[in-house]
Amino acid sequence: MQDEKLHILYDYYGLLISFRQVENLPIKVYGVRGTLSSRAVIEFNKGLISFKMDKSYKNSLDAEDTETLQLLIERNISEIVKAWLDIFIYDLPWTTEVIRKNIREEL
């Protein structure tokens, strides 16, 4: 993944939430910290949006980063879908949002 360009949506204290350069449906969202990464898949079923973590990654994020990735996706799933459309369908530019607020305190 190092050679591949990423569309970074969020930077949460160094945990980068991104899309890969070229993607198809279903929407795949990557959480990357250094050399570790995990992937979530966003799916549409009967008009509802859901996501699940892809458990097949060998160098996956640790438990805390995986939980953070899930929480970020859960809270921002509509914005993530919109960003995917803007980037891959409408070819619009995207600016990374830097999040410096503890998302666990927002509960």
pLDDT in tens, 38-70: 999 999 999 899 999 998 878 899 999 999 999
**Sequence-separated (6 or more) residues with CB below 8 Å from residue 60:** 36, 37, 38, 66
Instruction: Specify the pTM.
Output: 0.89
Domain ranges in the chain are: 6-100
Assess contact for 4 and 20: CB atoms under 8 A: yes
Check residue 80 and give its pLDDT: 97
**Sequence-separated (6 or more) residues with CB below 8 Å from residue 28:** 19, 20, 39, 40, 41, 42, 54
Report the C-alpha gap between 1 and 85 in whole angstroms: 22
pLDDT in tens, 1-47: 445 678 999 999 999 999 988 778 899 999 999 999 999 999 999 98
CA-wise closest residue to 9 among 54, 76, 101, 89 = 76
